[in-house]
């Protein structure tokens, strides 16, 4: 049982407040997960003018299983509504659209870290390092609220490395506290 709970509503994709960024920014290759090749920054042909997927209810049948398991951890609505203030890429100048697509993967990485840190902070076994986890959580949250320029210039691998070190320590603590070795702790190892 966790000794505290945290609101994760901002760490789940809210497609209704996103301009279909994952369907544009990310590349994919024809495979068991995707029926076609698509370059990064190019809109998927299934994406409608309303930023909705035209085959949403038939993704698996149409060969887009990869889309059914993808999660942006809430980065889509953050970039759409916060970083770029609700201005969509279709009606914005080309440079604005390009910057949106550059920034989306950065924020997606940060939001994934926020998810893991939120999980780690709530673990009872993490109590000895909870202050450090909270600082990492706050710092990562601050980074997600940066300007497009700040986000584009961010050294994501360096920040991720710092956070990963903390998550590994959390995992060790959780495993030590868990009577069944190897049991899933909810924190990546």
Q: Which residues are near ligand SF4 by CB under 6 A? A: 23, 44, 46-47, 53, 55, 64, 67
Least distance from ligand SF4 to the Cβ atom of residue 44, Å: 3
C-beta closer to ligand SF4: residue 49 or 95 = 49
Please give the structure tokens belonging to residue 83.
């970083």
Residue 148 to residues 53, 60, 99, 143, 160: CA-CA distances in angstroms?
A: 26, 34, 7, 11, 19
Question: Least distance in Å: CB of 14 to ligand SF4?
Answer: 14
The residue among 19 and 116 lying less far from ligand SF4, judged by its C-beta, is 19
CA-CA distance, 99 to 101, in Å (whole number)? 5
How near is the Cβ of 90 to ligand SF4 at its closest, in Å? 14
Contact 79, 103 (CB under 8 A): yes
**Closest separation in Å from C-beta 46 to ligand SF4:** 4
Question: Judged by CB, which is closer to ligand SF4: 67, or 187?
Answer: 67
Q: How far is the CB of 53 from ligand SF4 (least distance, A)?
A: 3
Nearer Cβ to ligand SF4 (34/115): 34
Taking the C-alpha atoms of residue 104 and residue 72, their distance in angstroms, rounded to an integer, is: 9
Closest CA to 157 of 101, 113, 188: 113
Asked whether 110 and 118 are in contact (CB, 8 A), the reply is no
Report the C-alpha gap between 186 and 189 in whole angstroms.
9
Nearer CB in complex with ligand SF4: 50/161: 50
């Amino acid at each position: 049982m966790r000794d505290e709970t945290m609101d994760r509503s901002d760490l789940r994709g809210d497609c209704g407040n996103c301009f279909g960024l994952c369907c544009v920014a990310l590349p994919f290759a024809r495979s068991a997960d995707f029926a076609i090749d698509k370059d990064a920054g190019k809109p998927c042909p299934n994406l409608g003018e309303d930023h909705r997927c035209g085959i949403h209810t038939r993704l698996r049948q149409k060969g887009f299983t990869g889309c059914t398991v993808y999660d942006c951890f809430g980065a889509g609505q953050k970039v759409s509504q916060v970083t770029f203030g609700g201005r969509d890429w279709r009606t914005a100048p080309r440079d604005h659209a390009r910057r949106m697509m550059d920034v989306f993967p950065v924020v997606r990485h940060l939001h994934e870290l926020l998810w893991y840190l939120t999980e780690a902070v709530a673990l009872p076994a993490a109590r000895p390092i909870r202050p450090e986890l909270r600082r990492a959580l706050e710092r990562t949250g601050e980074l997600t609220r940066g300007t497009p320029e700040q986000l584009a210039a961010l050294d994501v691998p360096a920040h991720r490395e710092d956070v990963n070190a903390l998550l590994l320590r959390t995992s060790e603590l959780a495993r030590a506290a868990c009577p069944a070795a190897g049991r899933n702790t909810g924190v990546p190892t």
